Structures are given as C-alpha cells and as structure tokens.
Amino acid sequence: MARAVGQIDVAKTEAILDAAVDVLAERGPLASMEEVARRAGVSKQTIYNHYGSKAELVRVMSDRRVAEITAALDAPDALEDPHGALAGYARVLLQVLLMPRGLSLFRLAMVGAETMPEVSHAVFEAGPRASRRRLAEFLAAETRAGRLDCPDPAEAAEFFGGMVVSTRQTKAMMGIGPALTDADIERIAIEAAARFIRAYAP
C-alpha cells in the first residue's frame, strides 16, 4: 500500500467514510461509532485518529454525500423544448428523492437540525435551494424567449418542484407505501410538465 512512513492511511480514511455513509443511512444519526468501526474493518481509535469526533465525521460524510447527490441535478438540458426540459428536471428530482441515500441524507439533516445546524444548512443549500435556483433561471430564460410567461420565476420554480415532489418525499421518508416504479416517474414527470406549461403559457 502506498503510504508514507507512519502516515495516516488514506485508504482507511475512505473506508471509514464509506462505512459511515452506510451506517448512518441505516441506523440514523444515532448510529454508534463502534458500528461504523466494525463496518469499516477498523478500530474505533483509528476513527478518532482520522476524524477528531463524531460530529466531524458526520460533517465530512454529509459534505461528500451532498456533492455526490447533487451532481445529478446539474444537467438541465436547456436546449430542448420547455416540455422536455421540465420533464427531465422532474425525472431527476424524483430519482434523487427516491434514492435511499438521498432520503437518508435528508433525514439526517432534519433530525440533526438542532444538534448540527451547519449540516442541515449545507444540505438544504446544496440540494433543494440550488436545484430550484437553476430551474428558476431556466424559466426566466424561457420567459425572455417568449415560450413561457413566468413573472416570478423563483415562485414558479417552487410551484413546479412542489408539484413533482409533493407528499412523495414524506411518504418515502416514513417508509410508507410502495416505491415508485419507473413508469410512475415517467407519468408524473410528463403530466406535471404539461400542466405547468398550461399554467404558465404566454
């Protein structure tokens, strides 16, 4: 293994992070450090050598998750027609929401709202907020192009995002009901886009 003399082993740093992701997703923010250590195949002390505390581990791990998850939200193909673009946005949104890791990150952010506000804040900023902002920009551009008429693009983006997500996020977080199929996602995406366009047609 490529590692300098007595230097911290980077592979372990990663293994710990991966384990933390899994364990926190499964057990929630109350997961024990022992469990993380076991899963990472590492001793508890080693975790404390790499990250100083549980809070720090959670922080780093959520940063990484945020980056990983929001990467999917980065590609709004603004070149298509409005309907195609909106449906695409909806599809991605639903997929991210239903991804177990997306869900668990959200739950972490909610549960930890008081104990670790920076985490909640980071998740919200990088997730919903950034995503809506990008959509709002798209809507503004379409409005300038005369294909839509959104006097308040930010509000319109909120509306569209909400239509797509609705209670589905809550439901998934509470583990209620069956997961959405690909066909469900497709139907919702198309219908939401169509209705939205009707609501905001010039």
Partner DNA sequence: GATCGATTGGACTGGAGAGTCCAAGATTAG
Partner DNA sequence: CTAATCTTGGACTCTCCAGTCCAATCGATC
17 or 21: CB nearest its own copies: 21
Question: Which of DNA, its own copies, none lies near 53, with the C-beta cut-off 5 to 8 A by kind?
Answer: DNA
**Can you tell me which of 101, 124, 130, 186 binds its own copies, judged by CB under 8 A?**
124
DSSP string of the chain, one letter each residue: ----TT---HHHHHHHHHHHHHHHHHHGGG--HHHHHHHHTS-HHHHHHHSSSHHHHHHHHHHHHHHHHHGGGG---TTS-HHHHHHHHHHHHHHHHHSHHHHHHHHHHHHTTTT-HHHHHHHHIIIIIHHHHHHHHHHHHHHHTTS---SSHHHHHHHHHHHHHTTHHHHHHTT-SPPPPHHHHHHHHHHHHHHHHHHT--
The answer to whether 3 contacts its own copies (rule: CB under 8 A) is: no
Binding residues for its own copies, rule CB under 8 A, total 41
Give the footprint of DNA on residues 25-44 (CB under 7 A). Answer: 30-34, 41-44
In the complex, the residues that contact its own copies under the rule CB under 8 A are: 28, 106-107, 109-111, 113-114, 117, 120-121, 123-124, 128-129, 132, 155, 158-159, 161-168, 170-171, 173-176, 188, 191-192, 195-196, 198-200
